[in-house]
């Protein structure tokens, strides 16, 4: 079914899910990677399962999210009441002075002695007005921290979607390389049989030496192609191990998986879905809110603060057995700061806010472009696959025709070699296009922002 037919089909079935760019194996229940001898057995589900749990990039994004959560708690704690206890003890000699002495009007001669001393102080502080708000409600510093937390949450989603695409791409490339390796082995076996047959016919003087050398050359070329396919498959498995989060030297046995493709919605629907689902857009909106809070915080730096302070002290200073005091006050602090510095901070925050607004517009354009490119890439792969299927069918018929003529003595061996090589290349091209189509669907899924429902 062509892409246009798929779109028409989707438009007449809006009640059903159209996860058109997601392979069923990407969103199905994930299975763990299992050991197989010295290596690992890994289909797409297992690779995704391992990567989404153990990949360092995702762990780092989650660690940043945890740090942002802690920052929010720390910001909120600045508006909580605090209770501090301090104590002092030691030896006093000479002419000390303390609040207790001054309160009781004790003369210096009376307290000129050598003796011990201790005190215990308890202080309670409760902020009422700070950062331009009462009781910390919607304080700029808290809003700024919460905005950063939302950004980190969306960053985790971005890392997860990026990881899904990279693992999927590496997995399909590994399967492509595996198929090419298998095709190379089949071609080499065929060339070996052709060379053995050519040797027999040359011995029987039914074949010229030139044709025998040609058969040997074809065998050597097939061996070289096989060696190149082995290296490419090894490199693809190494890349897959890296994308999954394993040591690049880990041996992975790549196994295929059922990979049906569903029809996809039209381009304008995909674009709207991307605007709604892409975590990058949500992250950008959170960044705008964070910048607005930063600006508000800069504007509040010159405002006064109001807090309740209540303190209780007990001590044995110079008139045992002891003395106590209790003080409760409302304290107002008015920072006398550099007005120029405050103005610079406000200008910097305002400039950053304007930059975020500009980036938001640019991001929407980037998202729309990515969706369009991925959508047309899928269409291109659909057309390429239809052509590749026809080319394989044509090459098979050509091989059958040339072989029958060769058996009847009406075609040369080089003509048969060329027909067989053309068939091998056509099959390889078809396999490449098939896996490129899966990669294109995975890329479109990432461009839209993951799974969706109509």
Instruction: Spell out the per-residue pLDDT of the chain, length 454, in tens.
Output: 444 444 334 433 433 333 333 333 333 333 434 433 345 777 888 888 888 988 999 999 999 999 999 999 998 888 889 889 988 777 766 555 555 554 444 444 444 455 667 788 899 998 988 888 888 788 888 998 999 999 999 999 999 999 999 999 999 999 999 999 998 998 898 889 888 888 888 888 877 888 888 888 988 998 999 999 999 999 999 999 899 888 877 888 888 876 677 778 888 888 888 988 889 988 888 888 888 888 888 778 778 888 989 988 887 755 556 677 888 888 888 877 656 666 777 787 788 878 877 888 888 889 999 999 999 998 899 899 999 999 999 999 998 998 888 888 788 778 888 888 888 889 889 989 989 999 998 899 899 887 644 3
Tell whether 176 is covered by a domain.
Answer: yes
Residues 324 and 355 in one domain: no
Residues 92 and 130 in one domain: yes
Residues 323 and 206 in one domain: no
Query: What is d(CA 78, CA 73) in angstroms, rounded to the nearest whole number?
Result: 9
Residue 22 near residue 439, CB atoms below 8 Å:
no
Residues 60 and 115 in one domain: no
- 3-class secondary structure, 154: helix
Residues 289 and 229 in one domain: yes
Which of 316, 336, 356 is at the close of a domain? 336
Which of 336, 355, 389 is at the close of a domain? 336
- Look up the CATH number of the domain holding residue 413: 1.20.1600.10
Tell whether 67 is covered by a domain.
Answer: yes
Backbone angles phi, psi at 451, to 5 degrees: -70, 155
Residues 266 and 405 in one domain: yes
How many distinct structural domains can be found in the chain?
A: 2
Tell whether 119 is covered by a domain.
Answer: yes
Tell whether 233 is covered by a domain.
Answer: yes
Residues 233 and 271 in one domain: yes
Domain that includes residue 151, residue range? 3-79+139-302+337-448
Query: What is d(CA 77, CA 127) in angstroms, rounded to the nearest whole number?
Result: 11
Residues 15 and 147 in one domain: yes
Residues 108 and 228 in one domain: no
Residues 33 and 111 in one domain: no
- Look up the CATH number of the domain holding residue 322: 2.20.200.10
- pLDDT tens digit string along 8-64? 344 334 333 333 333 333 333 334 344 333 457 778 888 888 889 889 999 999 999
Tell whether 453 is covered by a domain.
Answer: no
Tell whether 454 is covered by a domain.
Answer: no
Tell whether 105 is covered by a domain.
Answer: yes
Tell whether 213 is covered by a domain.
Answer: yes
Query: Which stretch of DSSP H or E encloses residue 236?
Result: helix 209-244
Residues 116 and 168 in one domain: no
Structure-token pair, residue 332? 């107002």
Q: Would the pTM of this model clear 0.85, i.e. be above it?
A: no
Which of 319, 336, 353 is at the close of a domain? 336
Residue 21 near residue 442, CB atoms below 8 Å:
yes
Q: What is the dihedral of CA 101, 103, 105, 111, to 10 degrees?
A: -10
Give Cα separations from 263 to 22, 24, 91, 182, 374 (angstroms).
Answer: 10, 12, 87, 31, 15
How does DSSP classify residue 261? -
Residues 116 and 247 in one domain: no
């Amino acid at each position: 079914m062509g892409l246009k037919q798929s779109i028409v089909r989707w438009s007449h079935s809006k009640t059903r899910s159209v996860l058109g760019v997601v392979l069923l194996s990407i969103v199905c229940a994930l299975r763990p990677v299992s050991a197989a001898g010295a290596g690992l057995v890994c289909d797409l589900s297992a690779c995704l399962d391992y990567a989404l749990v153990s990949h360092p990039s995702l762990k780092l994004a989650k660690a940043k999210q945890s740090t942002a959560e802690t920052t929010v708690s720390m910001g909120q704690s600045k508006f909580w009441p605090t209770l501090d206890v301090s104590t002092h003890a030691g030896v006093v000699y000479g002419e000390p002075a303390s609040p207790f002495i001054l309160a009781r009007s004790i003369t210096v001669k009376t307290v000129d002695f050598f003796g011990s001393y201790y005190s215990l102080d308890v202080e309670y502080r409760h902020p009422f007005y700070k950062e331009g708000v009462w009781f910390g409600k919607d304080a700029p510093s808290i809003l700024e921290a919460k905005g950063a937390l939302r950004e980190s949450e969306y960053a985790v989603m971005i890392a997860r979607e990026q990881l899904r695409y990279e693992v999927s791409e590496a997995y399909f490339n590994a399967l492509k390389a595996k198929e090419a390796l298998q095709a190379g082995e089949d071609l080499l076996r065929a060339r070996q049989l052709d060379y053995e047959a050519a040797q027999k016919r040359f011995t029987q003087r039914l074949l010229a030496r030139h044709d025998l050398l040609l058969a040997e050359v074809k065998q050597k070329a097939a061996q070289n192609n096989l060696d190149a396919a082995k290296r490419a498959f090894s490199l693809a498995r190494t890349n897959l191990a890296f994308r999954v989060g394993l040591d690049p030297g880990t041996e992975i046995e790549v196994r295929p998986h059922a990979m049906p493709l569903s029809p996809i919605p039209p381009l304008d629907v995909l674009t709207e879905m991307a605007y709604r689902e892409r975590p990058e857009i949500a992250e950008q909106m959170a960044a705008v809110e964070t910048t607005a809070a930063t600006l508000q915080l800069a504007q509040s730096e010159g405002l006064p603060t109001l807090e309740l302070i209540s303190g209780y002290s007990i001590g044995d200073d110079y008139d045992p057995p002891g003395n106590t005091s209790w003080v409760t006050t409302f304290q107002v602090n008015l920072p006398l700061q550099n007005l120029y510095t405050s103005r610079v901070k406000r200008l910097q925050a305002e400039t950053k806010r304007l930059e975020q607004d500009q980036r938001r517009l640019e991001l929407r354009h980037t998202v729309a472009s990515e969706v369009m490119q991925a959508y047309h890439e899928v269409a291109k792969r659909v057309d390429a696959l239809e052509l590749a299927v026809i080319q394989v069918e044509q090459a098979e018929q050509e091989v059958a025709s040339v072989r029958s003529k060769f058996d009847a003595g009406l075609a040369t061996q080089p003509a048969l070699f060329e027909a067989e090589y053309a068939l091998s290349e056509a099959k390889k091209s078809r396999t490449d296009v098939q896996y490129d189509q899966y990669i294109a669907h995975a890329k479109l899924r990432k461009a839209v922002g993951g799974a969706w429902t109509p």
